[in-house]
Amino acid sequence: MSNKTTLTAGELLKLRQRLDEIDTGIIDLIAERQAVVTIIAEHKLKTGLPLRHYEREREVIDRGVARAESRGLAGSVARDILQTLIHHSLSNQETHKLVQSDHGHGQRALVIGGLGRMGVWMSRYLDMVGYDVDIADRIAGDTPFNQVEDWQSVVNDYSLIVVAVPLRPSNDILLRLAQLKPTGLVFDIGSLKSPMREGLDAMRLSGCRVCSVHPMFGPHEIGLSGRHILFVNVGNQEAIAEARALFAHTAADCVEMSLEEHDEVMAWVLGLSHLVNIAFAGTLAESGEAVPLLKKISSSTFNAQLQVATQVVSENPHLYYEIQKGNENTAEVSEHFRTVLDKLVTAVVENDEDVFTRYMGVARQRLAGTAAEDLSS
């Protein structure tokens, strides 16, 4: 049958059935792999071994790539599959470790804004690590957690309070908490910190255990391997230590910084990246070109950019405006972006290939972490 140029309907059906059997076998093997991962996770938990073993991960991927190439397959196929499997394995190990840690056993936590997207994530996370979680929100909604109507009257019932509301009301809530003086740890999870400086300072001056936290990921994350959590010190090292301990059993990279450092960095990490992608999407929207047609004839670069831009513009536009407007460092970064864009466009219009290629070359070097010439002149 392999020498035929065409197949009968019956032969095609049999081949498709065989593919179904192979696919089922692959899924069964993945399930078996995950069962082994669970046993390893229990061993790591009992012996105190770290969640990640980078050398082992490299060995698994390299061996898989070599095996694929020996069978006439592209090594990239094996790499993609194994990286996905490793990611899910880490997520499963992390979840197992979090549940077993029971960090919040016997303690109560309140998430103010618990029906928001990150509020929901935070509530589920705290529940996973053993807290008895209540939420407070100005609207009623479907939630597995008890919803408190008047959180201001019960703040001292909790060992942890998380403020998970938009930036503007976060400051007001922190100011009110400063007056109420809760006895437990308090932190916000806002994307910027300077709009809450007044409230955070008031909390510190009132003697509260307060810090500020910024999870650098969205509400759909399960495992935190490869993700970052920023801890902003507002003058209470004890609060920082407590907040970091809350995430100690994850594989997240925890970074401590000052409020000023945080917002300076966010002007680039959030401000610039959001601006570029919104501008890209907005340019397409105003061009009159049919996006479905562009997708059909697009390049891999366009597809990658379109995917990121689509994700950005699907988020809350009011939050993204706050991230631009609420950070005093964003204007300088945006102006820098405008200057670079103008120079690149001018180089093309004026047939100045040297300037254009020099910009790309220097950018390549800097992004690779190597020394490069200064382009500001």
pLDDT in tens, the chain (377 residues): 455 568 999 999 999 999 999 999 999 999 999 999 889 888 888 888 888 888 999 999 999 999 999 999 999 999 999 999 998 888 888 877 787 878 889 999 999 999 999 999 999 999 999 999 999 999 888 899 999 999 999 999 999 999 999 988 999 999 999 999 999 999 999 999 999 999 999 999 999 999 999 999 988 887 788 899 999 999 999 999 999 999 998 889 999 999 999 999 999 999 999 999 999 999 998 888 777 888 888 899 999 999 999 999 999 899 899 999 999 999 999 999 999 999 999 999 999 999 999 999 999 999 888 655 555 54
Q: Which of 250, 264, 262, 194 is nearest to 221 (CA)?
A: 250
The dihedral built from the CA positions of residue 9, 11, 15 and 18, taken in this order, carries a sign that is positive
Q: CA 347, CA 314: separation in Å to the nearest integer?
A: 33
Interior/surface letters 74-93, b for 16+ CB within 10 angstroms, e for the rest? ebeebeeebeebbebbbbbb
DSSP 148: P
pLDDT score at 2? 52
pLDDT the model gives residue 1: 47
Nearest to 347, CA basis, from 366, 362, 360: 360
Q: What is the sign of the dihedral through the CA atoms of 8, 14, 18 and 21?
A: positive
Q: Which two tokens stand for residue 268?
A: 């680039």
CATH fold group of domain 103-257? Rossmann fold (3.40.50)
CA nearest 267: which of 350, 331, 172? 331
CB 216 within 8 A of CB 227: yes
Could you give the CA distance from residue 353 to residue 358 in angstroms, rounded to a whole number?
8
Q: Which two tokens stand for residue 194?
A: 């300077």
Q: Which fold has domain 9-100?
A: Chorismate Mutase Domain, subunit A (1.20.59)
Helix 317-325 / helix 330-349 crossing angle, nearest 10 deg: 90
Question: Where do you find CATH 3.40.50.720 in the chain?
Answer: 103-257
What does the pLDDT read at residue 3? Answer: 56
Cα–Cα distance measured from residue 161 to residue 122, given in angstroms and rounded to the nearest whole number: 11
Place of tokens 């065989």: 18
- Please tell me the distance from the alpha carbon of residue 335 to that of residue 323, in angstroms, as a whole number: 16
What's the pTM? 0.82
As annotated, the residues of the chain forming the CATH 1.20.59.10 domain(s) are 9-100
pLDDT of residue 170: 96
Query: How far, in Å, CA of 99 to CA of 91, rounded?
Result: 12
User: How many CA atoms lie within 13 Å of 22's alpha carbon, on the beta-carbon side?
Assistant: 6
Question: What is the distance of C-alpha 287 from the center of its chain?
Answer: 31
Alpha-carbon distances of 240 from 164, 235, 244, rounded to whole Å: 17, 9, 6
Type of residue at 315: E
CATH code 1.10.3660.10 region(s) in the chain: 263-367
Contact 127, 156 (CB under 8 A): no
Q: At the top level of CATH, which class does the domain 263-367 belong to?
A: mainly alpha
